[in-house]
Structure 1
Amino acid sequence: MRVSEHFNLGLTQPSLDFVDVDIERDLKVFVDPRSLRLLPSQWGAECVSLVQNFFQAVLTAIAGEHNDAARQLLSHLKEPNETHLGLSREKARGRALGTESAYDLWEALSKSDAVKSGLLEDLEDTILMVEGIGPDIVSDITTNLIREPLIAYTQDACTAYGIPMASEVDSGPLWDPTHQSWHSEYVRLPVVEGRKLLLVPKVIVRRHMAYDQGEYYRDYILEHLKKEELEAGSALVKLLKNGEVRVTKKDLEMKYGRGKKVIVRETRRNPEILARYRNDKRNIVRPPLTHHSLANDTDTPPPDWDTLLHNVLTVAPGNENATTYHHAVQALLTALFYPSLVSPQREFQIHEGRKRVDITFTNAAFEGFFEWLSRHYPSQYIFVECKNYTKEINNPELDQLAGRFSPNRGKIGLIVCRRFDDKELFIKRCLDTAHDDRGFIVPLDDEDLRELVEEVKSILRRPEYYFLRKRFERLIMS
């Protein structure tokens, strides 16, 4: 049974911002520390800072031979069973971290030449160069370190989706970057069958880590050694019948060996190899899982676009159905705009609660229309107002949304409504708002939502939102 089923959310994975895990078994995906760097948000920055702070604290303790301190820091890394992510085959029980493995982790780090030589910079470097540390352990360590932001995310998600929470739940170990120590406290979290549940944003999980030991060895270490052998004209160089020369990877492995000791040795000898690998990883972004990848991994249906749209269009107009319309629009837009827009919040409060926004999305786009927006206009958040009116939308509704904008929050919004008596006139009003430097508001009615759905259904890869781009260009080009 999945989280959505247990709590009767009436939503499937495409309309949920978090990974809809099985409440008993683990899902084989990882929290990749590099995925956190892709999030252009305060939440993502906090997570990155926590991971970096802890890892540097451990490396500093080991370098100073403060072994007891290093072991103490590592001993608080526990099995993060509450996320239900990892490699367990049966009930979620974790397999990477525990009391004994914390000592093993310290031993692996303290004996590593990569640590002693200062090669390591980030936690994910350990995948390449520290014995016994693989993607599962790095994922578990990362989850431990970002537990406090995950708790905050879970609480927000529970509020957004109506998931009940229990009080006085033990948080588990929380990393304090200021004092570089662990602590715990009692928090509000959902509890399932006596076990706490921690929700994880689907935008930060991956099937595979960005850093891969095999890739680094095969495509970087061996390629560098191959070049050296060719330049030296060594005995490994073979002359082919067509006059070409080559060095086989099999022969290179026979001469140099393989494994993390070899990787460390050759990286210390040629540190530019690691610099190139890191640079390539910065420039080649591994995107979040697609809807279909998540569907395959979670064994859940892919987006049913027709049903999501139908749920919006069949809501009867009128204030008495405003909440139903609001929820249906959020379910559709969450699926439509993933992974560009994440962390939807309903009734988002600003000005100390004196003003509210129906739906607020965090702009986490790394490509496409919303990424372009983030580079040219204040758009940290995208605001959505839902108007299930039977009457025409007029200036007061336009001014209401414009009044929610600010340079810090963002100045981009959508008004989603049922129809316009004169859509062209309303677009001109949005144009006036833009010309007056009061922000950019894109109007979308039922017909426009149909266009957006048809577009996303017709595109095999990640949607580019051409319809939305064209509508927005009218606001900046006229």
Structure 2
Amino acid sequence: MRFSQFFQLNLEQPYLDFLDIPLHTDVAAFIDPTGLKQLDSEFGHIAQSLMQTFFDKVLQEIANNSLSNAINLLSQLSESNEFHLGLSKGKARGHGIGAHNAHKLGLAISQSKASKSGLLQDLEDTCLVIEGIGSDMISDAICNIIRGPLIEYTQEMCNLHNIPLTPGIKSGPVWNGDKWTQFLTNLPMTSEGKVILIPKIIARYNISYSSSEYYRHYLLEDMQRDEIRRATTLVHYLKDGSPKVTKTDLIKKYGKDKKSIETQTINHRGALENYKKDKIKTIVSALDHEDISEITNTPKLDWEKVQNEFSLISTGRSAAHEYENLIEKTLTALFYPCLSHPKREKTIHDGRKRIDIEYTNNAKNGFFSWLAQHYPAAKIFIECKNYDDDLSNPEVDQLSGRFSPSRGKFGIIVHRKCKNSNLLHLRCKDTANDQRGYIITLSDEEIIELIKGRESAHPYSFPLLKKKFDSLID
């Protein structure tokens, strides 16, 4: 049974912002710290800070010769199963560091020449040079370090989907940026215990850091250049006189286990620095719908079914909530992974104003990425109007009143149909010309056009949105 089935959400994976985990086992996915560092959102910034402060604290305790304190910090990275991530077969079980490995890891870091030399700066660095630290352990450790924001996210998703929260549940160890804390909180409880949801936008097939990749494509290549520079006995000369050192000869001489990698990294510091720079510059793409379907073993997204649902809802106030539900689930699937973390009836101005739906803009390419590069668009606001009649000025003014430079100044009004589309466009253009923000409108027919466009070679370009936006600023 999946999380959505247990709580009878009647929503399949594409319509959910989180991984719809099976309650009895794990999803074969990981949280990649590099991907988190590239997440330019409030959630991403908090996660980055927590990861950095935690490992800084561990290194600080080791530098102060307080190995026991460092081990205590590491021991809280427990082998938790409430996240349901990893490669467990059968019953879910975490792969965190936990008490058993904390002493070994603390001792290894304290004795590590790379640590003493200042080369180890991030938790994921340890999987490159310290034996026994792999992808699953790093991912589970990250889950524990960012447990606090993940609990908040879980509560928000439960509120979004009316999932009951059980009060008085132990949070588990929560890193607050300085120390581990623990408290009672509200979490969804299932037949298999508590669940902490994972945003699907941060799930990956594996973490970006790979010891073998680093060794073969960065460290060995740096070592090759060094051997040639020093004209060592490993240097062979080709017929044209050019020098060459084979990676096979280097491995034979220096070894390829993590201890050897650590030793050579200290002698070739630039290799690790270049590896880390390239990693942070290379966008770690989010898993798409098909990827998510594969790792969660859930049905693929049926776009035709999505389109057909619009004809099943009548217009008018009585069906307004039903229409808003349809828009939220449709846009969550349609705009993923560009937009994520939907919130319904988000309150601003101390509750005096509400936004029907708010999304966080995480786009790395396509229309929403372009929008964020040129205009305030950290958040994307959606207003739903299940009207029989055309929209008028009050509806346009209502959305523009939700804008701000920090939240964003772009929004979409979704509506059923429009008799006078030219007049509606002029109302939106007036708002843009008055510098009150940028509003485009989408009818049922236009949303269906966007859905069909998702099957193109550039599924995130959304040319209809770009065309409508350009018409506001012409």
1:56 to 2:56 alignment:
yes
1:470: which partner in 2?
Answer: 467
The structural deviation recorded for 1:309 is: 2.0
Alignment of 1:26-105 (within 5 A): 26-105=26-105
- Secondary structure of the residue aligned to 2:123 is coil
Distance across 2 between alignment mates of 1:333 and 1:80:
33
Cα deviation 1:248-276 (Å, max 9, x = unaligned): 32222111211222222222112111111
Bigger mean CA deviation after superposition, 462-471 or 54-63? 462-471
| Alignment correspondent of 1:225 | 223
**Distance in 2 between residues matched to 1:111 and 1:134, nearest whole Å:** 19
Amino acid at match of 1:78: S
Give the aligned residue type for 2:466.
R
The reply on whether 1:156 has 2:159 as its aligned counterpart is no
Task: Say which of 287, 299, 302 aligns to 2:300.
Answer: 302
Matching of residues 396-407 of structure 1 within 5 Å? 396-407=394-405
1:437 positional shift: 0.6
Question: Which SS does the other structure have where 1:90 is aligned?
Answer: coil
Q: SS of the counterpart of 1:83?
A: coil
The answer as to whether partners of 1:27 and 1:86 remain within 8 angstroms in 2 is: yes
The number of residue pairs the alignment matches comes to 474
Match of 1:123 in 2: 123
Query: Which range moves more in the overlay, 309-318 or 324-333?
Result: 309-318
1:420 is aligned to: 418
What are the within-5 Å matches in structure 2 for residues 130-279 of structure 1? Answer: 130-177=130-177, 180-193=178-191, 195-239=193-237, 246-279=244-277
| 8 Å CA contact retained: 1:415, 1:444 | yes
Distance 1:137 1:373 in 2: 37
Q: Which amino acid aligns with 2:139?
A: S
TM-score by length of 1: 0.96
Kept in 1: contact 2:38–2:280 (CA 8 A):
no
Distance 1:391 1:96 in 2: 56
Worse-matched range after superposition: 146-155 or 311-320: 311-320
1:19 Cα offset (Å): 0.7
RMSD between aligned residues = 1.6
For the residue of structure 2 that corresponds to 1:469, the secondary structure is helix
Any stretches of 5+ residues in structure 2 without a counterpart?
none
Q: Secondary structure at the match of 2:26?
A: coil
What residue number does 1:440 align with?
438
Deviation digits for residues 126-167 of structure 1 (CA, Å, limit 9, x no counterpart) = 111222211111111111111110000000000111211101
Number of the residue aligned with 1:367: 365
Question: What secondary structure is seen at the aligned counterpart in 2 of 1:208?
Answer: coil
Residue 366 of structure 2 aligns to which amino acid in structure 1? G
Q: Which residue of 1 aligns with 2:22?
A: 22
Structure 1, unmatched stretches of 5+, are none
Segment of structure 1 superposing worse, 246-255 or 120-129 = 246-255
- Residue 386 of structure 1: how far off its partner (Å): 0.8
TM-score by length of 2: 0.97
SS of 1:296 mapped into structure 2: helix
How far residue 366 of structure 1 moved from its aligned partner, in angstroms, is 2.0
- 1:432-457 deviations in whole A, cap 9, x for unaligned? 10000111001100121121011102
Q: Is the 8 A contact 1:4 1:11 kept in 2?
A: yes
Give how far 1:240 is off.
Answer: 5.3
- Which secondary structure does the structure 2 equivalent of 1:278 belong to? helix
Are the equivalent residues in 1 in contact too, given 2:346–2:358 (CA < 8 A)? yes
| Partner of residue 458 from structure 1, selected from 456, 459, 462 | 456
Deviations, residues 317-352 of structure 1 (Å, cap 9, x unaligned): 111111111111111110111111000011111111
Percent of pairs identical after alignment?
A: 45
Q: 1:462 offset after TM fit, Å?
A: 4.5
Q: For the residues of structure 1 that align with 2:70 and 2:326, how far apart are their CA atoms?
A: 50
Corresponding residue to 1:325 among 316, 323, 331: 323
Separation in 2 of the partners of 1:299 and 1:425? 47
CA distance in 2, matches of 1:89, 1:108: 29
Query: Quick one: distance in 1 between partners of 2:76 and 2:209?
Result: 25
Q: Is the 8 A contact 1:128 1:213 kept in 2?
A: yes
Deviation at 1:228, TM superposition (A): 2.6
3-state SS of 2:429 partner: helix
Structure 2 Cα separation of the partners of residues 155 and 247 of structure 1: 56
Cα 1:381–1:198 shift into 2, 3 Å: same
Amino acid at match of 2:383: E
Question: What is the letter of the counterpart of residue 285 of structure 1?
Answer: I
Counterpart mapping for 1:317-356 below 5 A: 317-356=315-354
Deviations 1:385-420 (A, max 9, x none): 011111111111111111111112111000000111
